[in-house]
């Protein structure tokens, strides 16, 4: 998990507040909601600091926490944490690409939410 923490610390710097909001509104119009293991409110407006805070929050969860226990397909609380943090990291990297207006990132979203 140390390597995972390092990946969180080396996330790219935040986009401008304007670009974060523009992207968030565009994703909301598409009703984009990434599939995550645990709930992360207002995902589309996360920034690097909130990602680090989420990492710390999840790592501090007790193995007996209701939040971890509610994941029924994974019994090991440490696996729940790792799976959630990896999934969140991958989705955030996609979000960063969307904020940069990378065509490849928008292709992923459009394929999932617009194309049939």
pLDDT at residue 33 above 60?
A: yes
- As a whole number of angstroms, the distance between CA 78 and CA 1 comes to 10
Confidence (pLDDT) at 19: 98
Which tokens hold the place of 98? 């969307």
pTM above 0.85, yes or no: yes
Confidence (pLDDT) at 115: 59
Which tokens hold the place of 86? 């990896």
pLDDT at residue 1 above 90?
A: no
Under 8 Å between Cβ of 9 and 90: no
């Amino acid at each position: 998990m140390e390597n995972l923490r390092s990946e969180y610390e080396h996330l790219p710097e935040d986009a401008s507040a304007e670009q974060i909001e523009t992207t968030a509104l565009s994703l909301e119009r598409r009703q984009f909601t990434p599939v995550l293991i645990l709930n992360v409110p207002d995902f589309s407006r996360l920034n690097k600091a909130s990602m680090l805070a989420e990492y710390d929050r999840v790592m501090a969860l007790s193995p007996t926490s209701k939040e971890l226990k509610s994941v029924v397909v994974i019994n090991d609380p440490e696996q729940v944490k790792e799976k959630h943090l990896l999934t969140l990291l991958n989705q955030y990297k996609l979000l960063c690409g969307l904020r940069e207006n990378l065509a490849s990132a928008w292709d992923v979203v459009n394929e999932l939410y617009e194309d049939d």
